[in-house]
Chain A
Amino acid sequence: MKIHLLLAGLAIGASALYEDQVGKFDWRQQYVGCPTQVQIDRRGKLDRYIVSTAENVVASLSMNTGDIVWRKVQEDVGNKEPKHPLVFSGQKNVICSVSESGKMVRLWAKRDGGFVGQQLLGTVESSHAPFVTTTADTCLVLSHNRAIALSLKDASKLWEVELRKSDWVAARAFDGGFAIVGGLKENNEVHVKWVDTKGMQTLNKILDVNAFNPQKVAFTGSHLVGFWDSTVYALNILSDGPDMKIEAKGVAETVFETFALTSENFVAIRTKSRVHVLDVIKGFSKVFSLPSEAEAVSEYVNKEGKRFLASVHGNRLSLYQVDGDKELLKDVVFDSELKRAPAKQLIIGGGDKEWEFLVIGADCRTDHVVADITVKKAALEWTREEGLTRIGSVELLDLPLSESQAAIETEFAVDEKNILASFAHRIFSQLDQFKKLIARSADTALELALNMKQMKSGSFSDLLNSVRQSARKSHSGGQPLERDVFNLRKLIVATSLGGSIYALDNQDGTVVWRRYIGADIQGFETIEGKTKIPILVQRTTAFYNFDAQIVVAYKRNGIGHLLFLNPVNGKEVDHQTVDNARRIDLLPFVDGDHLHHVITVDRTNQVSIYPKLSADAIEKAPPVHLFDVNSVNGKVTGYRLDLTTNRLTETWAHQLPHWEDSTVVAIAGKPASERTHSQGRVLADRSVLYKYVNPNLIAVGLLAKSAPQLNIHLFDSVTGQIVHSARLPKVTAPVYMVHCENWVAYAYWTEKGRRTEIGILELFEGDEQQHVETFDSEEPLKRPLHVEQASFIFSQGISSMAVTETEQGASNRAILVSLPFGNIFEVNRRILDPLRPMELTPEMREEGGFIPYMPEIPIATEEMLNYNQTVHHVNGIKTAPSGLESTSLVFVYGLDLFYTRATPSGNFDVLKDDFDHILICIVLAALFIGSYVCRKLARNKALQQQWA
């Protein structure tokens, strides 16, 4: 048995990586998520930003480079934003963070992110947004209508005080303890409570307030500031007695926002056009007004106590000194990009001559700007694309043909009768190719020379850095965006739920272009409950005389939008709005321009097609069938699309059983481009089991809740026939499912075994092939399908599942599984095979290639696709074929991005990395010379023999 296992391991696990291949085919980008709160930490050698994000992460970023110094990833929030974002507060050494909407408080060392301690505050989310503040030795957390004080040494609970039921809370430390405020909006009241450092209550008061917008309160010094319509309110919470009353002041315009400034007793208010700074103590007197419009404003107090105010508008930055009313920077351009997302937050890092700023955009893009106030210039030092942590959909697209490839295409496409003209054409294209070759060689030589020059001067680390930099440059900037020989280079187009579209280069993950659509956009909800901003590929880059085209669909204020783009440069081609779109899809056929048209179906089953189909295309069009699942009653309906009237005609309907009690795990069809290389499986007795490869097959996974059970239905979307249905009792979430070729793989948690298992269901037509040439759904099956099924124990949890894809489908498939501890594991289909025999018969041994059944899928750490490059909170895995049959491209997205190549059948069509080209050349040359010399010698000898 051991020998069998070993053999199996040898056969399958040949895809491990050598040490020198690390980072050669793969890259990883680590992100922190969309920043919600930022603090500056200037203690120690390195200046840093401490950020907390919507993705439940606390991290420290280097101010110089933007790299992550440390990052603490907490519980996964999925692709939904949590009810209340993570909040934190820090003193000089420790920060105290409240995550998961008030469920958990954790303490971290500020310098290295070391874990100090944690305390569970509740198992349900807090009804109000949690609040946290720190003193030198205590962390006070307000959550679940309680105030809890924790020791900053070990997170032990010092004391706890019950609060009145509130929907907003805030607290502030003062010499004798803490002042805690809160309130209920509907009761029009504010509660103030003073608690000393031992947790003893010293004051408890309820104040009446007319109207107070509880979501927008802020603290400045001892004052709590709020607003309602065009009135600003302030409450001094530290003055006991008659002074503790709410003061109000009307302003001329409607207030949008009040924000506290770091200097005590000053508050900034933002109205429609302006930002004003008011002094709360002096009866809200206006201290300063910003002269221009601003998207985000921030204040900074330097060591001498001088106050500065900065604002950002579009790609321009302004800085003012408040006290002397001085203008230090006025509308200084810091970014050449004009279509930036509006800034939602601005943080000033300060400085003397060179000021540092952090601009956080509505699309979560985080820019670090350095501005010189003497020369009045600003520069973007680094950028973090944090919007990529919330990817709503991904496509991997081929790059367009290179100029020379396109020239070859045109050369053969032009049907020239004139032999002279085509000869000239040939010569010119060859000259062109030669010119390019020279240019490329010159570039390489220049780069090499530069590197050599750097090698002479500077330390080793400088050299290393320069080599890295040049490598990075040559990847992104150096090469034009065109297809390489093996079509391994692709464009990763991704939509972010933050409101942007990105195109990344798959060589190194650099952003090729980005396009901001708006932070106010919403995605579409899929029936599985996921939010997506779908990308549909209308035309690939396969046609050199047409530009590629994609369409991105999103919603704004409930109205659907279709944005047509050229994926190579991000330029908008067209824009359409659609009302009531229930479904957006591509037509399965192309028109004369190789374009797949977009169809939208509205609630009355009226279909719209973008762009409109020509009469000729309608005439030629094959029948189009659609199906749809009603999320309310579970009715599945099939339609036939009439392209002349743009109406849907119902052709079949049925009901998914136990719908009310079930949740949909997956509804998965198959991509039209998917290929199945082999039509059958050869068995040990050399008979063939033919696969049931139905391109119209849909797999539905339903999870019943009251009597936990997984139901899998496989139906044909043209006829509605359920060709197979299966159930597995005692199964609960998480359930993942992939549907490919003639099989469905599903992973689930079994209550019975209390473990994760992976099952596989494979459909066969039997030993006789019914559909030899093309598949026809409308032809009835001759007999019920032959179904093979098996399942295996998987000793790890699973957080995402996908399947590899290759160009011809001849390589083995592998199921890619992301594990909760951050690894991507590849399960080969040869392991996950329902036809694995329990015992090997002599014939099977003779035939070879059979792996005996073992109930567990072995997990070896060296077989992890991402070796030690762990990725967290994985949302999805996208695979795409490359030009090499052996290679499938894998892109993993979530909090981190990871890209690699997978070779499930090994690198059978590529020479090994360490293939010795020189040796083989030497051997060949030696043989050649040797044979020549020998021939001469032999001839000499023969001559001498004849003379002798």
Chain B
Amino acid sequence: MIFLLALLCVAAADLTLPIEYSLDDWQTSATLGNIVVREAYNGNFTGTFKPSLESNVLGNALQNAPKSIYRIRTQQPEVTASSSAKPCALLDAKLVHSFWVSLDQSGKFVQSLTVFPDTAFATGDTSCKLQPKSSLAGIVQIVGTEQLKSPDTQSFIEKMEKERRARQHGAETDNRSFLAKYWMYIVPVVIFMAISSMGQQQEGGAQ
């Protein structure tokens, strides 16, 4: 039981990625928030972004440096993954970030972190001003590492086996009734007989 619990704990362990941002090529940086990645029991990942910064602070900073590059990064013990966006596009998207995180096979190592201004919230305003009702938020999409398939010989052999069996035992057991199975042969015979008998009757009538 304890073992099972431990297993569950491991499976459900969260991965927290602290996100920093900068507008001056990392000469100064500040914390933007955290991305929490959770692995579901089916192996899929879900992620949520928890901002730790006031929307106005970021909005004003972006408004003051419209020509700079808005950069974000997350630092793991060995490596850093970073990405960037245009400040104006982010202001236009009401500060809604769309994060894409790619994880390696262990689910612990960030292969890439990419930020986009979420186009679903974009107003099309190019004035580079903080839009009303802007709030720092993020939608996180996690892509894991998939294992490639080997040639599917097993299913193919099974299929061949099935076909071989079908050939040996004739057709697969057919549960239809005699009439349902052979109606296409019976109907012409019946029609033919009917026609010929009608002809005979007519001939008889003439006599």
* Contacts from A to B (Cβ < 8 Å): 1, 635, 649-657, 710-713, 715, 719-729, 750, 752-753, 757, 759, 761, 778-781, 783-784, 787, 789-793, 838-839, 853-856
If A651-B84, A654-B81, A655-B81 touch, does A725 touch B145 (CB 8 Å cutoff)?
yes
Assess whether B111 is interfacial by the CB under 8 Å rule.
Answer: yes
The answer to whether B100 touches A781, judged by C-beta atoms less than 8 angstroms apart, is: yes
What's the Cα separation between A719 and B84 when bound, in Å?
8
Minimum Cβ distance to chain B for residue A88 (Å): 45
Given A652-B82, A657-B104, A778-B116, decide whether A784 and B148 contact each other with a Cβ distance below 8 A.
no
Determine whether the beta carbon of B151 is less than 8 Å from that of A720. no
Contact string, B158-197, partner A, CB cutoff 8 A, digits 1/0?
0110010000000000000000000000000000000000
A635 to B111, CA, bound (A): 11
- In this complex, what residue of A is CB-closest to B103? A725
- CB proximity of A108 to chain B, nearest CB, Å: 42
CB of A851 to closest CB in B, whole Å: 13
Which partner residue on chain A sits nearest B145 by CB separation?
A: A725
Query: Is A723 a contact partner of B69 (Cβ separation < 8 A)?
Result: no
Per CB-CB distance, the 5 closest pairs between chain A and chain B, nearest first, are A780-B116, A722-B102, A721-B114, A655-B79, A855-B151
Residues of chain A lying within 8 A (CB to CB) of residue B133: none
Inter-subunit contact B82/A789 (CB<8 Å): no
Are the C-beta atoms of A720 and B156 separated by less than 8 Å? Answer: no
A159: min CB distance to chain B, Å: 52
Query: Using a CB-CB cutoff of 8 Å, which residues 115-141 of chain B contact chain A?
Result: 116, 118-119, 141
Instruction: Report Cα–Cα, A80/B81, bound state, in Å.
Output: 36
Q: B98: which A residues are within 8 A, CB to CB?
A: 780
B116 touches A856 (CB 8 A): no
Q: Nearest residue in A to B97 (C-beta to C-beta)?
A: A780
Contact A725 B25 (CB under 8 A): no
Bound form: Cα–Cα A866–B121 in Å = 57
CA distance A138 to B82 in the complex (A): 68
Q: Nearest-CB distance from B171 to chain A (Å)?
A: 16
A724 touches B150 (CB 8 A): no
Complex alpha-carbon distance, A652 and B118, angstroms? 18
Interface string of B71-96 (1 = CB under 8 A from A): 10000001111111000010000000
Contact A855 B69 (CB under 8 A): no
Tell me if B153 is interfacial: C-beta within 8 Å of chain A.
Answer: yes
Interface pair B148/A839, CB less than 8 Å apart:
no
B69→A725 contact, CB < 8 A: no
**A746 nearest in chain B by CB position:** B148
A516 to chain B, nearest CB (A): 46
In the complex, what's the smallest C-beta–C-beta distance from B91 to chain A, in angstroms?
15
Contacts of A790 in B (CB 8 A): 149, 151-152
Of all chain B residues, the one with the shortest Cβ separation from A729 is B147
Choice from B145, B152, B160 contacting A1 with Cβ under 8 Å: B160
Decide: B111 and A855 in contact? CB cutoff 8 A.
Answer: no
The residues of A that contact B112 with a CB separation of less than 8 Å are 652, 654, 715, 720-722
Contact call A854/B79, Cβ cutoff below 8 A: no
Please state if A752 and B150 are interface contacts (CB–CB under 8 Å). yes
A779 contacts B147, CB within 8 Å? no
A654 touches B152 (CB 8 A): no
Determine the residue in chain A with the shortest Cβ distance to B150: A791
C-alpha gap A655/B159 in the complex (Å): 44
Q: Which residues of chain B come closer than 8 Å to A839, judged between CB atoms?
A: 159
CA distance A723 to B141 in the complex (A): 11
Interface size on B, residues (CB 8 A): 41
A790 to B149, CA, bound (A): 6
Q: Given known contacts A725-B104, A727-B148, is B82 in contact with A654 (CB within 8 Å)?
A: yes
How far does the alpha carbon of A653 sit from the alpha carbon of B115 in the complex, in Å? Answer: 12
Closest to A649 in B: B69
Residues of B within 8 A of A778 (CB): 89, 116
What's the minimum C-beta distance from B63 to chain A, rounded to whole angstroms? 20
Q: Complex formed: what's the CA distance from A474 to B113 in Å?
A: 61
Residue of A nearest to B78 (CB): A655
B87 → A minimal CB distance (Å): 13
B155 within 8 A of A: yes
Instruction: Report B23-40 CB contacts with A as 1/0, cut-off 8 Å.
Output: 001000000000000000
Interface centre among B118, B119, B151 (most CB of A within 10 A): B151
Q: Are A726 and B100 in touch, CB under 8 angstroms?
A: no
Contacting B148 at CB < 8 Å: which of A728, A780, A853, A855? A728
| Bound Cα distance A719, B99 (Å) | 12
B143 interfacial by beta-carbon distance below 8 Å:
yes
Q: List 18 A-B contacts (CB under 8 A).
A: A649-B69, A652-B83, A654-B80, A654-B81, A654-B110, A655-B81, A655-B111, A715-B112, A719-B116, A720-B112, A724-B143, A725-B102, A725-B104, A726-B147, A728-B147, A780-B100, A791-B148, A855-B151
Closest chain-B Cβ to A775's Cβ sits at a distance in Å of: 14
Complex: how many Å from CA A192 to CA B150? 60
Instruction: Point out the residue from A721, A752, A753 that lies within 8 Å of B100, measured CB to CB.
Output: A721
Cross-interface CB contact of A853 among B147, B150, B156, cutoff 8 Å:
B156
A724–B146 touching, CB < 8 Å: yes
Chain B residues with Cβ below 8 Å from A652 are 82-84, 112, 114
B155 lies within 8 A of A838 (CB): yes
Give the residue name and chain of the B residue nearest to A636 (CB): B112
B residues within 8 A CB of A656?
Answer: 111
Complex: how many Å from CA A545 to CA B64? Answer: 50
Residues of A within 8 A of B150 (CB): 728, 750, 752-753, 757, 791
Cβ of B152: which chain A residues have Cβ within 8 Å of it?
790, 838, 853, 855
| Contact of B111 with A838 in the complex, beta carbons under 8 Å | no
Query: A656 vs B81: C-alpha distance in the bound complex, in angstroms?
Result: 10
Q: Please pick, from A655, A726, A838, the residue contacting B156 in the complex, using a CB distance under 8 A.
A: A838
* Least distance between B165 CB and chain A CB atoms (Å): 13
Measured CA separation A769–B173 after assembly (Å):
45
CB of A789 within 8 A of CB of B100, answer no
Chain B residues with CB under 8 A of A784: 141, 143
The reply to whether A726 and B145 form a contact with Cβ atoms under 8 Å apart is yes
B153: nearest chain-A partner, CB-CB = A855
Q: Tell me whether A787 and B116 are in contact (CB under 8 A).
A: no
- State in angstroms the CA–CA spacing of A778 and B148 once bound together: 28
| A724 neighbours in B (Cβ, 8 Å) | 143, 146
**Residues on B with beta carbons closer than 8 Å to the beta carbon of A727:** 105, 145-148
CB-based nearest A residue for B146: A726
Min C-beta distance of A642 to chain B, whole Å: 11
Report the minimum CB–CB distance from B24 to chain A (whole Å).
Answer: 12
The answer to whether B143 and A722 have CB atoms under 8 Å apart is yes
For B110, the chain A residues whose CB sits under 8 A away are: 654
A624 to chain B, nearest CB (A): 15
A854-B156 in contact (CB<8A): yes
CA distance A728 to B149 in the complex (A): 8
Which residues of the other chain, A, contact B156 by a CB distance below 8 angstroms? 838, 853-855
Task: Chain B residues near A779: list those with CB within 8 A.
Answer: 116, 119
Query: What are the residues of chain A within 8 A of B155 when measuring CB–CB?
Result: 838
B4 to chain A, nearest CB (A): 28
Shortest Cβ gap from B151 to chain A (Å): 4
